[in-house]
Amino acid sequence: PVNFGFLNAIMLAGLAALVLPIIVHLISKRRFDVVDWGAMQFLELGRRMRRRVRLQDLLLMALRMALLGLLALGMARPWASGGFLQAFSPNDPRDIAIVIDGSYSMNWEGLGVTPRSSAIQRAHEILDACRPGDTVTLIDAREQPERVAGTPTSDLTFVRRALDTLPPATGTSDLAAAAADAVQTLAFTTNAKRHVIVLTDGQALPWLPANSSAWTNCDDLRRQLPIPLQMFAIDVTDGAVEADGNVFVDPLLLSRELAVPDFPVRIRTTLRQSGPEPIERKAWLELNGQRLDETTQTVTVPPHGRAPVEFEHRFAAAGSYVATVAVDQDDLPSDDRSPAALLVDQGLPVLLIDGDPQLDPVQSETFFLKAAFSPADNQAPWVIAETISGTGWSETDLQGRAVVFLCNVPRLDARQRAALKQFVTAGGGLVIAPGDRVDPANYGQSIAEGLLPYALTQQKHEGDFTLSPILFDPESLEAGWLSRFRTSTGTDLAQTRFATWWGLEAPERPADAAPPEAGQAPGAGDDATGISSARVEAQLKTIDPVIVSGTLGRGAVVMLAIPLDADWSTLPTRNDFVPFVHELVFALISGTHERNVSVGDALRLTLQAGESPREWTFIGPDGSRTPGRSPGIGRQEVELRAARFAGIYEAVFADDPERSEFFVAAADRRESDLSGLDPQLAQQLQQDHGLQFVSGTTDYQETTRTEPEPVELWRWLLLTALAMLVLETVMTRRLVLRGRLDLESDAAATSAQVVA
C-alpha cells in the first residue's frame, strides 16, 4: 500500500488543482449570442467532425487533470514498503544516526580491547559502507545524550574527526533517551531510508531507564515521522563481558565537606562485588592524587556482598582537596576509585547574639559557647566566634558569617527577621536557643514569615512528669552529626538532665496541602520562600522534641528547646558539649558549599572581593576548559552551568594558577552491574519499540538488504508526469493540426456542393 506521512499529507491539498482544467473547459464552452447569416450554413462542420473534436477535448482535459494530480502526489512524497519497487532502489541514500554508549562499563578491559574502542571501530566501518547521498549524525549516550556531530551531514570526514575526539566513557547512560534523541534528529531529514544504530556493550542497565517516559517519548516521535525508520542495536563485545568478579568502590560518605586544619574528617565507603567467591583487595586513601601509603588496608569482600572501609584524616593546611578511596585495579578500572571533594578553611566565622548580656561574663547567655569555640590557650581555633548584644544589631553584622546563634534573644523586629531570612537563604546557618526571656508571640511572627521550622508553645518542667530525671532519648540521636553521641559510643551527651524546656510544635498545614514526605514533620512547608524539610533531630524521653531543623533556600535552621547556658539543663557541663556545638556548626554549613554534585548540576563558587567570573576557568574530566559565568545579577558567584560528565572538575584562577578549587560529579554505581541484557527483555524491546538486535555491522548491512524498507515513489510519479506532459504537448499539437486539415477538407467539400 501507498502511505503518506502526516505532514506530507497536507501537500495532497494540491489535488484541488484537478478542477482547473474543468473550469477552463467550462469557460471555453460559454455560449454567445447567435446571429443567423445565410452564408454560414455552408461553413458548419459535419456532425461526425463535431463528435471527434468534443472527444479530443475531453481526453486532453483528462490528461491535464492526471498531470496535475501526479504533481500533487509527487510533492506529497508517498512511499511504499517492499514490493517490486525495492529491486529498483537498492542503493537509495540513507540518513543514519549512530549512538555510542558513553557509560563507564564500556571501559571493561577483559578482552584486551575496550568496548568503547570497539564501538568507535564499528562506527568507522559503518562510515566506510556509506554511499553518495548518505548523511550521518553521531550521538554520545550518557545521563543526557550529547549530539557530537550535530545535524546529519554528508561530510563523513567531519564525523570521523568527531569519533576520534569523543570524551572518555564516564558515568552511566540512558540508551532509551539517546534513541529518542536520534529519532528526533532524523525527523527532518530527506532520505526515505532512516536508520538508528546503537553501539553498546550488551549491558542490561542502559536499556532500563528509571522513568519509562523515555521509551514513550521515543515511540511518540517515531509515530510522528513522515517515513518510518529502523532501529538497530549492536553488542560490540558479542556477549563476552563477564559480570562476576568485579569489585567496585561505592560513593564516599564524608563526616563533613567543610573542615578546618587538624580537625578529624572520617571518610567512609563500601566495597562490593557480585562474584560467587570471596575477593581480597588492598584499599587506600589518596589526597589530590597522592597516595597515602600508611592508610593501606587489606579488605576481603564476601561473595555477592559488601565490606565497609573507613579512613580518618586530619588536614594540615587550608585548601581545596579531593579525597579518593582506591583499590587494586581489575578488568573494569573506572569503578576502582571513588572521589569526593571537600574544603578546609582556616576558621569558621560564627556570630553569637546574646539576648541577656551581663557585666559578669560568666552570667551571660553566650559564656559557655564562647569558651567552647575559642578557648584561651588555642591560638588557631576551629571556630572564630564574636559576641554582640541582642538589641540593635542589623544585617551588616551578619556579613561574612557562616553561622549565627540567637541565644535567648527576646524579640526580633521585622528588619532583623528579613535580614536573617536573607542570610539563611543565601547559604548561612541559624541556631535558635530560646530561654526565659523569649516572647513566643514574637517568634510566632517568624513562623508566619517562613523563618522557623517549629513554634514555641509553653514551658515544660521536670516536675510535671513522673519520669525522673528527664534525659535525651538516645535512640532519637540518628542524624549524621548526632550519631557519634549515642550512648553505645561511650559519650555522655545522652546523660544531659533537663529541668525546663520549651514545647516545640509543628505549625499547622493548610487543608489542601500535600502530605509530608517520610521523615518530614507534619507541619513542614514545601514553599520555596519558607522552611522546608522540617524534622525532629532529637527528643527527650518524654517524646518532646528538643532539637528540630529545616532548610531554607541554600541554608539551614536548627531550633533548640533550651538555651545553651546552665540555667535549664546540664548540657554545658557535659564532656560532649564542646564537640556537640562544633558538630552543630559543621552540620549547618556542610551542605552550603556544594562541592559534590550529580551529573547535570551546576558548579558554583563564591567570589572574593574584586573578582570577576571571567577570571575563573572550569576544567572538566575530559580536559575541556570552560570560562566561568555569573549565575545572576547581584550574586557574587561564578558557575559552570552543568557538569556534563561524572568525575573531578577543577576551577582555576587566571592570576594565580596555583589557586584551584575542586568539585566532584558522582557516578552512578549501578553501572558496575555488568549483567547482560536478558533475551526475553530483548525480544520485548523488539516487539514494543521496534528495536532489532544484530550481531555486527555485516549483519546490519545484510539485514537492510533483505528486509523491506520504505521506497519513495515521487521519482516514478514525476517521471510519469514528465511523460504525460510530453503526451499532452503532442496531443495538443496534433489536435490543432488535425482540426485545421479537417476544416479545410470540409470547407472544400462544402464549396463543391455549392458549385454543383
185 contacts 151 by C-beta, under 8 angstroms: yes
Q: Is the pLDDT of residue 210 over 60?
A: no
Mean pLDDT of the chain: 83
Report which DSSP code applies to 664. E
- The C-alpha atoms of residue 655 and residue 236 are separated, in whole angstroms, by 47
**Is the dihedral angle over the CA atoms 739, 741, 747, 753 positive or is it negative?**
negative
Q: Is the pLDDT of residue 516 over 60?
A: no
- The C-alpha atoms of residue 86 and residue 712 are separated, in whole angstroms, by 10
pLDDT recorded at residue 652: 94
Summarised one tens digit per residue, pLDDT across range 663-684 is 999 999 999 998 888 888 889 8
The pTM assigned to this predicted structure is 0.74
pLDDT recorded at residue 5: 47
Quickly list DSSP for 299-353.
Answer: EEEPTT-EEEEEEEEE-SS-EEEEEEEEE---S-GGGSEEEEEEEE-S-EEEEEE
Summarised one tens digit per residue, pLDDT across range 622-644 is 999 999 999 877 678 899 999 99
- The C-alpha atoms of residue 108 and residue 130 are separated, in whole angstroms, by 29
Q: How confident is the model at residue 69 (pLDDT cuts 50, 70, 90)?
A: confident
Mean pLDDT of 581-590: 87
- List the beta bridge partners of residue 200: 235
pLDDT recorded at residue 591: 62
Q: Is the pLDDT of residue 78 over 80?
A: no
First-to-last CA distance in the chain? 66
**Is the dihedral angle over the CA atoms 75, 80, 81, 83 positive or is it negative?**
negative
Q: What's the distance, CA 730 to chain centroid?
A: 65
Task: Work out the burial of residue 662: count CB atoms within 10 Å of its CB; fewer than 13 is exposed, 13-18 middle, 19 or more buried.
Answer: buried
The three grid cell numbers given for residue 659, joined into one nine-digit string: 589557586
pLDDT recorded at residue 37: 57
Summarised one tens digit per residue, pLDDT across range 141-190 is 999 899 998 789 999 999 999 999 999 999 999 999 999 999 999 988 87
Give every CB contact of residue 634 below 8 A, 6+ residues apart in sequence: none
Give the number of other CB atoms < 10 A from CB of residue 397.
17
Q: How confident is the model at residue 363 (pLDDT cuts 50, 70, 90)?
A: confident
Q: How confident is the model at residue 531 (pLDDT cuts 50, 70, 90)?
A: confident
Q: Is the pLDDT of residue 134 over 70?
A: yes
Q: Which amino acid is at 516?
A: P
- The C-alpha atoms of residue 346 and residue 249 are separated, in whole angstroms, by 31
- Vertex 224: Cα angle to 218 and 225 (nearest 5): 95
The three grid cell numbers given for residue 690, joined into one nine-digit string: 521496534
Q: Using alpha carbons, select from 178, 196, 284, 191 the residue that is nearest to residue 233.
A: 196
- The C-alpha atoms of residue 90 and residue 189 are separated, in whole angstroms, by 19
Summarised one tens digit per residue, pLDDT across range 459-502 is 999 988 876 789 999 888 888 888 888 776 667 888 999 999 99
Mean pLDDT of 200-225: 84
- The C-alpha atoms of residue 562 and residue 227 are separated, in whole angstroms, by 71
